Amino acid sequence: MAPMAGVTDKIFRKIVFEHGAGFTVSEMVSAKSIVYDNKNTFKLMANDDNVRPWAVQFFSHEPEILSEAIKRLGDFPFDIVDINMGCPMPKIVKNGEGAALMRDPPLAGRLIEAAVKASFRPVTVKIRKGFTPSTVNAKEMAHIAQESGALWVAVHGRTRDQFYTGEADWDAIAAVKAAVKIPVIGNGDIFTPETAVERLNCCDAIMIARGALGNPWLFSRTLKLLETGILPLPPTRDEIIETALRHLRAAENIIEMRKHLCWYTKGLPGSAETRRQINNAKSVNEMEEIILRSGSNEELY
């Protein structure tokens, strides 16, 4: 399960893990905020004890700060240090972090080396195809990750200036796979089990992001298709409602849950009206009533 800001919190990671996600990643956290002991940052790293292995994903442009943050989390129960070098958001990029590091491969290498030196855990890296179409350099960045000691590299098949528009370039991901010895994880536009299985021809593993929003069954159905060659039936309306309610009842922030419930109910009969009601709901009980009334017994996805 790909790291996604504002999405991949403790309960979300638990749900996708139970549906077969072999690895989960926290929302990205600021290395500087850890060094400065920001309490809200530590909340992003809450995790269920049984959801393992998992990674904490850091963003930083300062090797010394990243090193210090990793050392401070020496006793924290996670398994892998992941470094974000792909986030396209302006507030991250303008600080020289996230996808901005695609424009500064030497600094990217120093960050990875600092993390590897500071950590007794494996270090991994998430990159993009490039920053712009004219500066595609994922193969170079993957080589740097490999030589700097990264365990694997995950590649989103879009440039930074694409954000999440257009189509992910899986030929670019396959080219990275052919260029390095470390495992390559492919990411981008995986919305169905059939696509997931097909994309495994390009890389060593796949990372699912938006396809799992409201649809953790994408993991379990993909695994079953891989194991048997037979595409499993999609979840029923009742299975969707049950999971949505479980997610809601475990959530700490009902405002944040609005988007999750809208994702779960997408495609159900009357979903437009359901979304309108969800976005106006003020309490968990009100949201529960809306969810229980939504849809019918049709199968979805």
Is 87 assigned a catalytic role?
yes
b/e burial code for range 20-40 (CB count within 10 A of at least 16 → b): ebebbbbbbbbbbbbbeeeee
What type of residue sits at position 300?
A: L
Torsion of CA 236, 239, 300, 296, to 10 degrees: 70
Residue whose C-alpha is closest to residue 148's, from 194, 183, 114: 114
Residue 2 main-chain phi, psi, to 5 deg:
-65, 150
Alpha-carbon span 151 to 200, nearest angstrom: 19
Of 87, 202, 203, 262, which is the active-site residue?
87
Q: How far is CA 186 from CA 23, 157, 207, in A?
A: 14, 7, 6
Q: For residue 110, how many other CB atoms are within 10 A of its CB? A: 17
Instruction: Let me know: does 219 contact 208? Beta carbons within 8 Å.
Output: yes
Tokens 């959530």 correspond to 251
Catalytic residues: 87
